[in-house]
Amino acid sequence: MPVVTLPDGSERRFDHPVTVDEVAGGIGAGLRKAALAARVNGKLVDTSYVIAEDATLAIVTDKDAEGLEVIRHSTAHLLAQAVKELFPEAQVTIGPVIEDGFYYDFAYQRPFTPEDLAAIEAKMTELAAADQKVTRRVLARDEAVRFFKSLGEIYKAEIIASIPDKEQISLYGQGNWVDLCRGPHVPSTGKLKAFKLTKVAGAYWRGDSRNEMLQRIYGTAWPDKKQLDQYLQRLEEAEKRDHRRIGKDLDLFHLQEEAPGAVFWHPRGWTVFQSLIRYMRERQHAAGYEEVSAPELMDVTLWAQSGHLEKFGENMFLTQTPDQRRYAIKPMNCPGHVQIFKHGLRSYRELPVRLAEFGKVHRYEPSGALHGLMRVRAFTQDDGHVFITEDQITSESVAITKLILDIYRDFGFEDVRIKYADRPPKRVGSDDIWDRAEAALKAASAAAGIEYTLNRGEGAFYGPKLEFVLRDAIGRDWQCGTLQVDLNMPERLGAYYIDEHSAKRTPVMLHRAIFGSLERFFAILLEHHAGKLPAWLSPVQAVVLSITDRQDEYVRRVTETLKNQGFRVEFDLRNEKVGFKIRDHTLRRVPYLLVAGDKEVAANLLSVRSRSGKDLGTMVPETFAERLRVELESRGREVVEG
């Protein structure tokens, strides 16, 4: 009879098979009521799961991350049940959990309207209040196919038919509704107390544009109304900060159908973009990197040799010349950097060799996945590749990690989470090589004094990596930088150096990106700062405003003087009231507004105010210039107002 071991090491003994729910009840009525699922011997299961043998058990509640996922998964099923009750002819397809919520795809004869979404949400509330018990049963695959065909659910039947025939299929039911699912789910619909449907969009069946278009209903779910309300407030704030809206308001960039996933940079946006490059170029040079540039178009044989063609080919843009030679537009910079390292004989005394490139890369992303600057097909990477010996992995990784974190602080990101991503299922190289690479990266992480969470199976196909995740001003996480240890690609591409014994040795290759995609980092910056970029990054750092045309000559002269000192300054001589001009440039997020009236002209002064509306007093142009120079040199760290 089973002995159940709890997380605190205590044991519960039973003389008969027992469900998770019964064990929870034996511990306490409060835990039984809070239980959503459980981990039995590490496997996530329903509370109805029967424990018949000795096992470890951890009860999952809404305090656990897994509990929140179960809530969202179950709410997706609640959505599908509500749609079927309101629109019986609709067919259900798939409904997974996504970041901060869930979605479910439906095939229906007409588009769902906002009124439909309101009715569906009301029905979901009704079904949740009914506290319907959630049950699980298992069928053989072919029996499950017949079952869903009998319901007219052809999409579900197609999904099941693609599953291996020996595999058993689990079905979950609540009320009169049944769905295909691996589970687990909450014990009853009454556990679902705080949810909201957010939008409806189109989605191709199985993500293939050759298939029929379905309707995807998105929603979010949380353990309680307070957390739901907080999330909805974050959504509202995120909408205000949307980089696409800010980009339009500030005339920074645009995108258009003739170049899907590629950016048309306007002068002001390009100014910021080049400021990012200039900043990173200075930091990399100080850290010992040499800047290079590799071709954007290279023969596919190189990509086959590196492993990219096999692992990444479906996301590559390929072309063929009239002489039948096939080329690929580079999706990554690493093979090109290996070619540069290989050109000429390298000695161990030269290592580390640090190469960096602001390389333009192209990757095919489905049209439906494109999203402003966040998800594009053409983008620029701040790629760095460091060629070292195995003995240098720790010291170089520590230096890179410190550089990355310091750079993020310059951009206003103090809260940085780090994830360790180990070997993926689809990879190159032997297990022995992966063991060495993973051990080396863990040792480097320990030496750098960093804490990380495990992102299992998400390493690059050639090596494990650290992922640097930035938390922005409204609590959203953005994965940007990476550090990868690669013992595979240099060998595949024939790179070597001569060691102290005059023997050929394959170098270790560290892949390092800090911004990642400059376009995406630009978007993250805009949203983090709500468009109010720090002065050192702002496309326009100050505007000199006249009150009447009597100040025009003075305003022009001051503007020219500041521009000649390297500041990005404009003037505004429009025949408008000064209050209108101040409001206009405040909306344009200009850091400093310099007003000149008759009194200021007579005394060679400027009335200075920040975009936040703070009056900084009057000062001579030279004093303002010195103030701004100090701020720019300190990256704004010492300046509170702005």
Catalytic residue among 39, 375, 465, 585: 465
In the residue annotation, 334 being an active-site residue is answered as yes
E strand residue ranges, 183-238: 194-204, 213-222
Catalytic residue among 385, 529, 568, 609: 385
Q: Are 169 and 196 in contact (CB under 8 A)?
A: no
Catalytic residue among 77, 116, 185, 334: 334
In the residue annotation, 299 being an active-site residue is answered as no
List Cα–Cα distances, 428 to 203, 335, 434, in angstroms: 33, 15, 9
- Beta-bridged to residue 444, according to DSSP, are none
In the residue annotation, 381 being an active-site residue is answered as yes
Return d(Cα 244, Cα 527) in angstroms, integer: 9
Catalytic residue among 216, 330, 511, 528: 511
Q: Could you identify the residue written with the tokens 């000192």?
A: 565
Return d(Cα 590, Cα 441) in angstroms, integer: 43
Catalytic residue among 81, 174, 381, 541: 381
How big is the CA angle at 417 (ends 526 and 40), to the nearest 5 degrees? 130
For residue 251, the tally of other CB atoms under 10 A from its CB is 13
Helix (H) or strand (E) holding 622: helix 621-633
Write the DSSP assignment of 332-346 as a string of letters. Answer: -SHHHHHHHHHSS--
How big is the CA angle at 95 (ends 92 and 101), to the nearest 5 degrees? 140
List Cα–Cα distances, 349 to 7, 445, 505, in angstroms: 52, 25, 13
Return d(Cα 150, Cα 145) in angstroms, integer: 9
In the residue annotation, 505 being an active-site residue is answered as no
Return d(Cα 379, Cα 184) in angstroms, integer: 40
* AA letter at 227: Q
Return d(Cα 339, Cα 320) in angstroms, integer: 22
Catalytic residue among 46, 383, 472, 572: 383
Return d(Cα 138, Cα 171) in angstroms, integer: 6
Residues 6+ apart with CB under 8 A from 364: 314, 315, 316, 317, 377
Burial level of 386, CB count in 10 A (0-12/13-18/19+)? buried
DSSP state of 223: S
* AA letter at 525: L
* AA letter at 204: Y
In the residue annotation, 568 being an active-site residue is answered as no
Q: Could you identify the residue written with the tokens 């319907």?
A: 132
SS3 labels along 50-116: EECCCEEEEEECCCCHHHHHHHHHHHHHHHHHHHHHHCCCCEECCCCEECCEEEEEEECCCCCCHHH
Q: Of 516, 518, 429, give the one whose Cα is nearest residue 466.
A: 516
Q: Of 44, 45, 41, 51, give the one whose Cα is nearest residue 19.
A: 51
In the residue annotation, 363 being an active-site residue is answered as yes
Q: Are 68 and 77 in contact (CB under 8 A)?
A: no
Return d(Cα 411, Cα 637) in angstroms, integer: 9
In the residue annotation, 465 being an active-site residue is answered as yes
Return d(Cα 307, Cα 335) in angstroms, integer: 10
Residues 6+ apart with CB under 8 A from 609: 582, 592, 593, 595, 615, 616
- Beta-bridged to residue 508, according to DSSP, are 388
Helix (H) or strand (E) holding 276: helix 267-286
Catalytic residues: 334, 363, 381, 383, 385, 465, 511
